[in-house]
Amino acid sequence: MNNPKKQQFASDNNAGMCPQALERFIEANSSGHATGYGDDAWTARATAKINELFECDAAVFFVFNGTAANSLALAQITKPYNAVIAHGFSHIQIDEAGGPSYMSGGATLMTADTPSAKLTPAAVEELATKFVGVHHVKPAALSLTQSTEVGTVYALDELRALTSVAKQHNLRVHMDGARFANATATTGATPAELSSKSGVDILCFGGVKNGLAVGECIIIFDRDLAEEFEWRIKQSGHLNSKMRLVTSAWLGLLENDTWLNNARHANRMAQQLADALTKKAGAEIMYPVEANAVFARIPEHVQSALREKGWSFYTFLPPLGCRLMCAWDTEEATIDEFTADLAAVG
């Protein structure tokens, strides 16, 4: 479909690559031949950078997208009869077409619908103890999304309370960090504090929504837990033969805190958008704006009028709940134009 607007609020994946990632990509592309499948200098540097950033000595992998990252990571920590405890409004539950079950050979999800798309220790406790015995699935993992699908963020103490319940019940902790950068920017905590130091075992660290074209990172903090993970990646068709063209772009994100600056920008734009929608267009904001998403209640006829004007966005929570995402490149002018259009038709 032709895009009538230069920028949209439909998703942060509507944005292209950021210049820093693109620059490294072009550099890698023009530096001659290199060995395939990750046995190259760019991948070694990106892997070292990730370990430096997360203050660890983890096993680091790159797959094509976030669905694969989550599904493969969860498959690594579940058996076919296991269950993963997750939020009802999580990507693994509503947006991965059963990927985690498929990749794990049968593991299922047990979900709670706690407010603001954030799980609570009580909800995790309830699900972890719900079933006992051979007739039921056996919970083996807790999956947390940071930042969440509605743009909220787990503070460090909330995260630690959740992982502590998980550990009490022998659950491994997976984090869907498609927007981990946005959560890092919000909390001000270090990447290590928001993951391994708070009990996260496997982090899917998103790069695409932050400014890459392709390639999500999976960080398995305990190397023993990463045993034979390469085979899962290969078998599922996620071993990239031209790996350097993904990892070079990753280097562009990782150097000079570009990943964090991109996230800070997107978060700031979301704040501005929420502010403008409230003050200039009288829209009602549905969740605290803590990352790069704004959820606003917009009357249906106003939604239609905005779409007629060329805006695309998702009615994530029909009929009124619209999701508006900001990206690393969202411009103030786009916010102004959208808000003015909303005020005009509202």
Q: How far apart are CA 251 and CA 249, in angstroms?
A: 5
> Residue 345 has which token pair?
């038709």
Which residues contact ligand PLP by CB under 6 A? 65-67, 70, 91, 145, 149, 176, 178, 208-209
In whole angstroms, how close is the CB of 176 to ligand PLP at the nearest point?
5
Nearest to ligand PLP of 60, 208 (CB atom): 208
Q: Which residue has the tokens 């390639």?
A: 215
| The one-letter amino acid at 332 | E
In whole angstroms, how close is the CB of 148 to ligand PLP at the nearest point?
8
Nearest to ligand PLP of 74, 276 (CB atom): 74
Nearest to ligand PLP of 117, 281 (CB atom): 117
Using CB positions, name the residue nearest to ligand PLP: 66
In whole angstroms, how close is the CB of 100 to ligand PLP at the nearest point?
11
In whole angstroms, how close is the CB of 124 to ligand PLP at the nearest point?
18
Nearest to ligand PLP of 90, 339 (CB atom): 90
Using CA atoms in the order 114, 118, 207, 46, what is the torsion angle rounded to 10 degrees? -130
Nearest to ligand PLP of 65, 272 (CB atom): 65
Nearest to ligand PLP of 209, 244 (CB atom): 209
Q: How far apart are CA 107 and CA 109, in angstroms?
A: 7
Q: Which of 23, 18, 36, 53 is nearest to 254 (CA)?
A: 53
Nearest to ligand PLP of 177, 276 (CB atom): 177
In whole angstroms, how close is the CB of 145 to ligand PLP at the nearest point?
5
In whole angstroms, how close is the CB of 240 to ligand PLP at the nearest point?
14
In whole angstroms, how close is the CB of 241 to ligand PLP at the nearest point?
20
Q: How far apart are CA 210 and CA 15, in angstroms?
A: 9
Spatial contact of 207 and 325, defined as CB atoms under 8 Å apart = no
- Provide the b/e sequence for 272-309 (b: ≥16 CB within 10 Å): bbbebbeeebebeebbebbbbbbbbebeeebbebbeee
- Identify the DSSP state of 283: P
**C-alpha to C-alpha distances, 256 to 73, 104, 190, nearest whole angstrom:** 28, 37, 15
